[in-house]
Chains A and B, each alone.
Chain A
Amino acid sequence: MHSHLLMMAVFAFFVSLVFAVLAKDTAREQARLGGVMFAGFMLVGLVVSWLMFPFPLR
């Protein structure tokens, strides 16, 4: 697994899953919160990666 995007997606999935199950009690609420959180993680990750694009490490 060398794809940065895939690793970010896997990481976001697990964190969203645990937070959603902790915070909500019904499956419907958990799926909704988990989905929103996962989408938020991915969106913020992509936006931050594009913002960093003009500043290469070398």
Chain B
Amino acid sequence: MSPAPATTAEKTQPGGLVLLCLASWAIPGIGHIWLGRRAKGFVFLIALPLMFAIGLALHGRLFSFDTSDVLTPLEAGAQLGIGLTYFLAGPFGAGKGDVRAITYEYGISFLIVAGLLNLLVVIDAYDIALGRK
């Protein structure tokens, strides 16, 4: 009698889980692609950076971890959820924000929600790796 095949949870080691979560955070959807959920992964890979890019195009501002205001670090943390894209935007001159633009608040909403959605994607990849889904 052959042994039962190892589940995803049995194959995933703690170090692998950390790496999976980091990769999934850094590049949206990579965690799902890694775990064989390619279709879902590619949707996240396209949709989330595109949503973030639309936020930048709408003159949204990327917040820094400035503790002089209570809400600013929270907004920065939410935006940081998008991963490497957050760090790539600065050198390209994006994310300075233009408070005079009519789309400024919309842009910030796109940036924050894209980051928060990517954090949900990371949690989903973690659950899949543990065999919960």
> A interface vs B, CB < 8 Å?
1-2, 7, 10-11, 14-15, 17-18, 21-22
Contacts and interface: CB of A to CB of B under 8 A. Distances in A.
A2 B109 CA distance: 15
B30 to A, nearest CB: 15
A11 B58 CA distance: 12
Q: How would you classify the secondary structure of chain A's contact residues: helix, strand, loop or mixed?
A: helix
Contacts, number: 38
Given A7-B106, A15-B113, A17-B47, 14 more contacts: A1-B103, A2-B102, A10-B54, A11-B109, A11-B113, A14-B51, A14-B117, A17-B43, A18-B44, A18-B48, A18-B120, A21-B43, A22-B120, A22-B124
Contacts of B51: 14
Contacts of B124: 22
Interface of B: 40, 43-44, 47-48, 50-51, 54, 57-58, 102-103, 106, 109-110, 113-114, 117, 120-121, 124
Q: How would you classify the secondary structure of chain B's contact residues: helix, strand, loop or mixed?
A: helix
Nearest to B102: A2
6 contacts: A1-B103, A7-B103, A14-B113, A21-B44, A22-B40, A22-B121
Contacts of B43: 17-18, 21
Contacts of A17: 43, 47
